[in-house]
Chain A
Amino acid sequence: MQSRERMDKRITNGIALGVIWLAALATVGALGTILLYVVVNGIGQLTPAFIFGWPHGVNMDGGIWPTIQATLYVTALAMLITTPIAVLAAVYLAEYAVQGRLVSTIRFAADSLASVPSIVMGLFGLSLFVEGIGMGFSVLAAALALSFLLLPIIVRTTEESIRAVPKYIRWGSYGLGASKWQTVSRIVLPSALPRITTGVILAAGRAAGETAVVIYTMGTMINAPVSPLDPGRTMPVHLMLMAQEGINMPAAYGTALLLVLMVLGFNLTARYIGRRNRRMQG
């Protein structure tokens, strides 16, 4: 009897382990398959002429430089607009707000905002910024619409970073006669900065890859934007249009590969910052 029970335990344990292992493998496998597929199809395109050239002709031959410039521009502008607001809002939520109904409502609103489909954000940006305020299709309108998407993400990651700063470190500061703001600005935020930075960089990756929001707010015109009021076509939009029409699949895969590399670069930077800091503080 006893030995049978032990046998059963060993079998169930083995099965559980196998299932868990398969699930993990599927996750890694999914990422690996996608990467491999994009790399195999796109690597042939990655020439300096493709990266730094302009597209020409109806088949979009040549390069994709203006879409790279538009992507970097709108991402940078969106981060510039969103980060200060999001960080200050998170400081308020984590440090100043009296924890209660109001704060949990704000937090719920932020979570809900984060789950609004991005196409809806695009539509909203179109009617408010592009048409309502009259910005027209522009980098600025797209950056503002993107900021709606990014705000809740950065607020939540920042809030969690701030909360992760140990209470006894704050008390050390208060114990020296520091005011709340002195403690927040000189001790809490610097301690939380690496985690905040990680969150911001991950959000930047999200913005760079966003399609639905920018297509309705920045348009599809191939243009290397200089002024924030210039229109432009980002890499994801370029990719979508080319693939949709099937006009130039090699260029579409080349764009996809560059986009993936860019976002991967953001993620690796975020990891590096997180790790370096753990070493410094440990």
Chain B
Amino acid sequence: MSDKLASHFMAPKAGPAHDHGDKFKVEKLDFFYGKFNALTDITVDIKRHAVTAFIGPSGCGKSTFLRCLNRMNDLIPGTRVEGKITLDGNDIYAPGVDPVDLRRRVGMIFQQPNPFPMSIYDNVAYGPKLHGVRKKSELDGIVEESLKRANVWKEVKDIMGRGGLTLSGGQQQRLCIARVLAVEPEVLLMDEPCSAIDPTSVQKVEDLMAELKDRITIVIVTHNMQQAARVSDYTAFFLQELAGEPAHLIEYDRTASLFTTPKDRRTEDYITGRFG
């Protein structure tokens, strides 16, 4: 294992299981697509070394909000953010913050598996190479370890030279997770990572999330409430009540509490399947 990775794996673990500090603090966030106010007044703390799920009906802004956390929305022309998001206490929208550095720390997995058109090995080695890892032995170590952590090593270890796009959808998604893990992010944002893959892979992705959260803060957007209940420690429920109006964060709580004793009537209606 490389020194870089070793130090990463030996990083101090989170405190007691029920005492998570805040990784992100979001205060009074508003988000605009051009003139359209898509999200308003979002205030939420995302706990370190836990899995936080964002749930809500389609079009409620949960994916948009997820992309605010690594400034991915910067890539969409005409978007604008108001309010404040801090990562470990530092404002990520402050002038002088390089979104490129931010995105290395805050990795992202998309709904559609998106391997690069290159070999499995090169897909995973891409990130470390970007950030200056050159030595073959070191790259080999990172690639193997990342694929193991992403629960896909056994399936690909003998076909590392094959194109990433030749894998099944579920394997591709885990390859993409390995690709992100290879740059040692502190946070992993997952935008409906399981909605386009087979059930066996879904199981493997959910397993790896449970294994990863010791070291990584995970935020997952999901349409599937059972999945949110299974994998997450905290859940945030978003809702856009009227078309054309901005979406709000309706309720945020420990997953166990939110699903059993929701405080807001709208949350209860949603989780009991009365709409959405």
Residues of A that sit less than 8 Å from B by CB: 99, 166, 168-179, 182, 186-187, 190-191, 280-282
When C-beta atoms are compared, the residue in chain A nearest to B105 turns out to be A177
Cα distance A257–B174 in the bound complex, in angstroms: 55
Check A176–B130 contact: CB distance below 8 A: yes
The minimal Cβ–Cβ distance linking B104 to chain A, given in whole angstroms, is 3
Residue contact A174 to B75, C-beta cutoff 8 Å = yes
Cβ A175 vs Cβ B112 within 8 A:
no
A74 to B91, CA, bound (A): 58
Q: Tell me, yes or no, whether B160 is within 8 Å of chain A by CB.
A: no
The B83-123 residues at the A interface (CB cut-off 8 A) are 100-105, 107-110, 112, 114-118
- Are the CB atoms of B183 and A176 closer together than 8 Å? yes
Contact B70 A191 (CB under 8 A): no
Contact for A168 among B110, B127, B163, B165, CB less than 8 A = B110
Name B163's contact: one of A171, A172, A281 (CB within 8 Å): A281
A36 nearest CB across to chain B (Å)? 41
Report the bound CA distance from A175 to B73 in whole Å. 11
The chain B residues found within 8 Å of chain A, CB to CB, are 70, 72, 75, 77, 100-105, 107-110, 112, 114-118, 126-127, 130-131, 163, 165, 176, 179-180, 183
Partner of A176, one of B104, B115, B118: B104
Q: CA A280 – CA B112 in complex, angstroms?
A: 20
A171 in contact with B107 (CB, 8 Å): no
Question: Residue on A with the closest CB to B183?
Answer: A176
Give the Cβ gap from B174 to chain A, nearest Cβ, in Å.
14
**Contact A187 B116, beta carbon cutoff 8 Å:** yes
Q: A168-B110, A173-B126 given. 20 additional CB < 8 A pairs?
A: A166-B114, A169-B116, A170-B75, A171-B110, A172-B115, A172-B116, A172-B176, A172-B179, A173-B116, A175-B72, A175-B107, A176-B127, A177-B101, A177-B127, A177-B131, A178-B127, A186-B126, A191-B117, A281-B163, A282-B165
Give the CA-CA distance A191 to B116 in the complex, in Å: 8
Q: Is the CB of A177 within 8 A of B103?
A: yes
The complex places the Cα of A171 from the Cα of B109 at a distance, in Å, of: 10
- Alpha-carbon distance between A124 and B104 when the two chains are bound, in angstroms: 52
Cross-chain contact A172 with B110 (CB below 8 angstroms): yes
Q: How far apart are A173's CB and chain B's nearest CB, in angstroms?
A: 7
| Contact (Cβ within 8 A) A182 B130 | yes
Given contacts A169-B114, A190-B118, A191-B117, contact A175 B70 (CB under 8 A): yes
CB distance from A111 to the nearest CB of B (A): 24
**Is the CB–CB distance between B114 and A176 below 8 Å?**
no
Q: Is B110 a contact of A176 with CB atoms below 8 Å?
A: no
* CA A113 to CA B70, docked complex, whole Å: 42
Question: Separation in Å of the A192 CB from the closest CB of chain B?
Answer: 10
A246 to chain B, nearest CB (A): 54
From B182, which residue of chain A is reached at the shortest CB distance? A176
Residues on B with C-beta less than 8 A from A281 are 117, 163, 165
In the assembled complex, the Cα of A172 lies from the Cα of B102 at a distance in Å of: 14
What chain B residues lie within 8 Å of A169 (beta carbons)?
Answer: 114, 116-117
B231 to chain A, nearest CB (A): 21
Q: Do A178 and B165 touch (CB < 8 A)?
A: no
Which residues of chain B are within 8 angstroms of A175 by Cβ–Cβ distance? 70, 72, 103, 107-110, 180
Do residues B100 and A177 form an inter-chain contact, with CB atoms below 8 A?
yes
B residues in contact with A182, CB < 8 Å: 130
Q: Cβ of A171 and Cβ of B72 under 8 Å apart? A: yes
A73 vs B72: C-alpha distance in the bound complex, in angstroms? 48
Q: Closest 3 interchain pairs by CB?
A: A177-B104, A175-B108, A176-B127
Residue A178 contacts which of B70, B100, B108, B115 (CB distance < 8 angstroms)? B100
Residue of B nearest to A168 (CB): B114
Provide the bound-state CA to CA distance between A182 and B101, in Å.
13
Q: Which residue of B lies closest to A193 (CB)?
A: B117
List chain B residues, Cβ under 8 A from A190: 117-118
B166 to A: closest C-beta gap in Å: 9
With A171-B75, A182-B130 in contact, do A176 and B117 touch (Cβ < 8 Å)? no
* Cα distance, A30 to B75, chains bound together (Å): 48
**What are 29 sample pairs from A and B whose C-beta atoms fall under 8 A apart?**
A168-B114, A171-B75, A171-B110, A171-B114, A172-B114, A172-B115, A172-B116, A172-B176, A172-B179, A173-B116, A173-B126, A174-B72, A175-B70, A175-B72, A175-B108, A175-B180, A176-B107, A176-B127, A176-B130, A176-B179, A176-B183, A177-B102, A177-B104, A177-B127, A182-B130, A190-B117, A190-B118, A281-B117, A281-B163
